[in-house]
Amino acid sequence: MIERTTLYIGGRWLTPSSSGTLQVTDSNTGDLYATIPAGSEADVNAAVSAARAAFPRWSRTSSADRARFLQKVSDGLLNRSNELARLIATEVGTPLKACSLVQVAAPVNSWAYYSKLSQEFGYEARVGNSLVVREPVGVVAAITPWNYPLNQITQKIAPALASGCTVVLKPSEIAPLNAFVLAEVIHEAGLPPGVFNLVTGLGSLVGEALAAHPEVDMVSFTGSTRAGKRVSRVGSETIKRVSLELGGKSASIVLEDADLEKAVKATVSHCYLNSGQTCAAWTRMLVPRARLDHVRGLARQTADSFVVGSAFAEDVKLGPLASAAQRDRVLSYIRLGLEEGAELVAGGPEAPAGTGGGGYFVRPTVFVADHRSTIAREEIFGPVLTIIPYDSEDDAVSIANDTIYGLSGAVWAGTDERALGVARQLRTGQVDINGGRWNPLAPFGGYKQSGQGRENGIYGLEEFLEYKAIQLRA
């Protein structure tokens, strides 16, 4: 078992102010896997003070010097890639092969990308008789989720440090071990003390204290919409900048002239990525009513092809959920769907065959339901797809937009031109057309209650910068 007993504050590994601990379980077995410190408000205060003290020097460090530090972090994470993949596969349940590519390689590349971008970005521009300067916002509190733990940490920490901000990180207590590895890598890279700080603990205590802290200039939060509302309310008391990446209930619209087999297979696979623990997952598939029977069969066939089991098994495509609480939440939605009269196409609430008594496993599930049903409106965050029939293209767009969320989506059509025309009508932050691939340089974030602000690429860097206008004598 792994025991982490210290927090990283002011460039040192320090004993927490209290002796409380939190347990981390192995999502594949349900067994105790690790313990971590349960940080307190006193630990938050110490970390924020260290970040505040480090900010003047770090914000004035040249972009070239900051870039060298970030590249060292990328190299250090690369050297520990295998260890990180196994940690995250255990914490989250992502199958090991996918974990190496999505959960580890992507953040390693992002650190290298922000190293390069920090040197190329235009921090100053002449506008008339003004010099417009982009400056770091200050001390950033980064509060991150458990579903893509290292990647979400990276999408906040790397651009924040590249911009000249200092950081206090509060990772999810469900998947925190990768954050300790990152702290070790950052320490070995030689970042000045206080530039990066790590405090683990409960969101209701550590996250709350960070959001409320008067010396924190910005909170960057990824998590549930419910928790994001709380962060926004608390942060507003000190008028700090708040960036939120929250929930989703994204629609994949399949038009009548689309390649049906390709569209259905891709939508089911996208929904089940990371066992459905993906905020941008296409969890609603909108199909022409006349094609429903065909779609139903294709969706069942695809869902049944997903082998469920341990993240470390060779042929597994669907690992466990990250926690018992998340498994129980997903199962409750599956049962609710049945109670509300949805048609069960595949899966169901029973335990998957061959998974034994341990681990947080859920069968890959597909329903056909009305768009007003609970399972078609609320974020489930598990391997549950809802097929929704529609009667016209306008009807499909209306159903897709009839949600409090607006994070992602897809359109499938006979031509890209037609798909693009529909995509422009969707109130959502990202739309893939006809299988367009993920672009890590494009802005990622949502409309409506899916959040505010953007991550990825240059857009992620700009989130951590303020404008200053210096009027010059003509």
**Predicted confidence (pLDDT) per residue in 343-383, tens digit:** 999 999 999 988 877 899 999 999 999 999 999 999 999 99
Q: Compute the Cα dihedral for 276, 296, 415, 418 and give only its sign.
A: negative
Residue type, 449: Q
Q: Which of 41, 245, 379, 455 is catalytic?
A: 245
Q: What is the pLDDT of residue 357?
A: 74
For residues 165 and 264, give the distance between their C-alpha atoms in angstroms, rounded to a whole number: 44
pTM: 0.96
For residues 168 and 52, give the distance between their C-alpha atoms in angstroms, rounded to a whole number: 10
Is 245 labeled as catalytic in the residue annotation?
Answer: yes
- Rounded to the nearest 5°, which phi and psi values hold at 177? -65, -35
Domain 2-246+451-471 bears CATH identifier 3.90.340.10: no
Strands 365-368 and 384-390: parallel
Domain 250-439 bears CATH identifier 3.30.413.10: no
Domain-wise residue ranges, the chain: 2-246+451-471, 250-439
Q: What is the pLDDT of residue 266?
A: 98
Q: What is the pLDDT of residue 353?
A: 87
Is 99 labeled as catalytic in the residue annotation?
Answer: no
Q: What is the pLDDT of residue 474?
A: 75
**Predicted confidence (pLDDT) per residue in 222-270, tens digit:** 999 999 999 999 999 999 999 999 999 999 999 999 999 999 999 999 9
Q: What is the pLDDT of residue 84?
A: 98
Q: Compute the Cα dihedral for 371, 373, 375, 379 and give only its sign.
A: positive
Edge-first strand order for the sheet with 432-433 is: 343-346, 365-368, 384-390, 282-288, 250-254, 409-412, 432-433
**Predicted confidence (pLDDT) per residue in 305-323, tens digit:** 999 999 999 999 999 999 9
Q: Which of 41, 99, 279, 455 is catalytic?
A: 279
Counting as low any pLDDT under 50, the low residues of the chain are none
